[in-house]
């Protein structure tokens, strides 16, 4: 087992997941509102999508990556519209007096929404293609085993970031009052909404 490839994949997954964007804002808000499990599961949805894009880049699936890039207009439209919907919904969300633990259905919805959002972001596949190519990891030298290790590393690295984020935010949850959560909802909602508007605006600007 080539641990070097696994570590490289881990670093790639961690570094691509780490910048705080709409998924990060959503994860923070869900952790504060519904607990660490909701925040972590939200992050794992994004990590799964990262692993899929890492798989496309690592196994050299150029047909799929070309198809996704060629359809980025529709991906931006769908992803941007969904971000706007989530942003408005978060902005208007009313916090309960006590943060409730997310149910099984709630956790599944949290996972599915972030998985969908990450998958409809065309810049994600471009990021993975650029990083893999830049590090000479494209197609992993034709080895399926090596490519598999890279993809596993990407998932572990991405999941590790979401574990650290949800765990860190979860430590602050006991100090969060309903009034604080109102502002968390507003700030998170505005951030997510701005990303959605930006994605939709890029259709006309670009």
Domain interval for residue 107: 3-76+97-177
Residue of 58, 54, 49, 50 whose CA lies nearest to 136: 58
Position 193 in a domain: no
Q: What is the dihedral of CA 178, 182, 20, 152, to 10 degrees?
A: 50
The band of 61, judged by pLDDT with boundaries at 50, 70 and 90, is: low
Torsion 63-69-73-76 (CA) sign: positive
pLDDT in tens, 30-39: 888 888 899 9
The reported pLDDT for the residue numbered 101 is: 46
pLDDT in tens, 130-177: 777 666 665 554 567 777 888 898 899 999 999 999 998 888 877 777
Position 57 in a domain: yes
φ/ψ of 177, rounded to 5, equals -95, 165
The yes-or-no verdict on residue 105 having pLDDT over 70 is no
The reported pLDDT for the residue numbered 175 is: 78
Position 182 in a domain: no
Query: DSSP for 11-53?
Result: HHHHHHH-S-SHHHHHHHHHHHHH-HHHHHHHHHHHHHHHHHH
φ/ψ of 44, rounded to 5, equals -65, -30
Beta carbons of 80 and 199 less than 8 angstroms apart: yes
Position 190 in a domain: no
Position 86 in a domain: no
Average pLDDT score, the chain: 80
φ/ψ of 142, rounded to 5, equals 75, 5
Position 49 in a domain: yes
Q: What is the dihedral of CA 7, 11, 13, 17, to 10 degrees?
A: 160
Beta carbons of 23 and 199 less than 8 angstroms apart: no
Q: Percent of the chain having pLDDT more than 70?
A: 83
pTM of the entire predicted model: 0.78
Tokens 């050299």 label which residue?
60
Position 185 in a domain: no
Position 83 in a domain: no
Number of structural domains (the chain) is: 1
Q: 120: helix, coil or strand?
A: coil
């Amino acid at each position: 087992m080539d641990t070097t490839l696994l570590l490289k994949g881990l670093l790639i997954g961690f570094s691509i997941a780490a910048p705080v964007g709409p998924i990060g804002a959503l994860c923070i808000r869900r952790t504060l509102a519904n607990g660490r499990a909701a925040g972590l599961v939200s992050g794992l949805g994004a990590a799964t999508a990262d692993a899929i894009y890492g798989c496309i880049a690592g196994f050299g699936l150029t047909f799929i990556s070309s198809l996704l890039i060629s359809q980025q207009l529709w991906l931006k439209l769908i992803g941007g519209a969904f971000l706007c919907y989530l942003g408005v919904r978060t902005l208007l969300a009313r916090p309960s007096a006590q943060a409730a633990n997310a149910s099984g259905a709630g956790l599944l919805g949290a996972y599915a929404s972030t998985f969908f959002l990450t998958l409809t972001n065309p810049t994600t596949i471009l990021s993975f293609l650029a990083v893999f190519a830049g590090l000479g990891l494209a197609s992993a030298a034709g080895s399926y085993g090596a490519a598999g290790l890279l993809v596993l590393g990407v998932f572990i690295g991405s999941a590790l970031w979401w574990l650290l984020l949800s765990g860190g935010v979860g430590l602050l949850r006991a100090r969060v009052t309903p009034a604080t959560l109102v502002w968390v909802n507003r700030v998170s909602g505005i951030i997510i909404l701005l990303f959605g508007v930006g994605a939709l605006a890029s259709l006309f600007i670009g």
